[in-house]
Amino acid sequence: MRLRLNKIISHTPFFEADVSPMPDRAVDKNDQDLQDHIVALRSTSKEFVSLLQTLKLPAPVLTQLQKFLENVGLIPGQVVDLLMSTIESTLEEKVMILDAVDLKERIPKAVELLTRQIHVRPKLGYAPFFYAFLSFRYRMVTDKFYCYSLWIVSK
């Protein structure tokens, strides 16, 4: 879930803040522009999963990712956030996605970055590492895949 930072309460010994949830608006099935963006996201995310399959990731991880991505029409904002956490991007690009609250703005930006990752990755000459929290690594399968932050990092 996305959160809005209302106020930083303390800096030490750790950051503490007052936040409020920022749920995505319900997907309007009659909004053809939004539906077109969702179709592009679905297509690009499938291509990205195909790329991940070439990295020989554990089958349970890929299966859970594919199941999550099947819900792109219902929860496109969460799909965007998960996919953006898995690609290599600059701080400015990450902030750009975080700043985009409206799905019609966020999805095209995410598709652009994801497409770049798909086309750049084969040229790198090495496979990025794909990992999640330690507890997920040991369990490998969970029905709550969306609860884990995932990253792809290079050597």
pTM of the model: 0.69
Domain assignment present for 58: yes
Domain assignment present for 11: no
Domain assignment present for 9: no
Residue 86 is part of which domain span?
30-153
Domain assignment present for 99: yes
Task: Convert the pLDDT of each residue in 39-88 to its tens digit.
Answer: 999 999 988 888 888 777 778 878 888 888 888 888 898 888 888 888 88
Long-range (24+ apart) CB contacts under 8 A made by 144-151 are 145/64, 145/65, 145/67, 145/68, 146/68, 146/78, 146/82, 149/85, 150/82, 150/85, 150/86, 151/85, 151/86
Domain assignment present for 7: no
| Token pair of 77 as six digits | 């904002």
The total domain count for the chain is 1
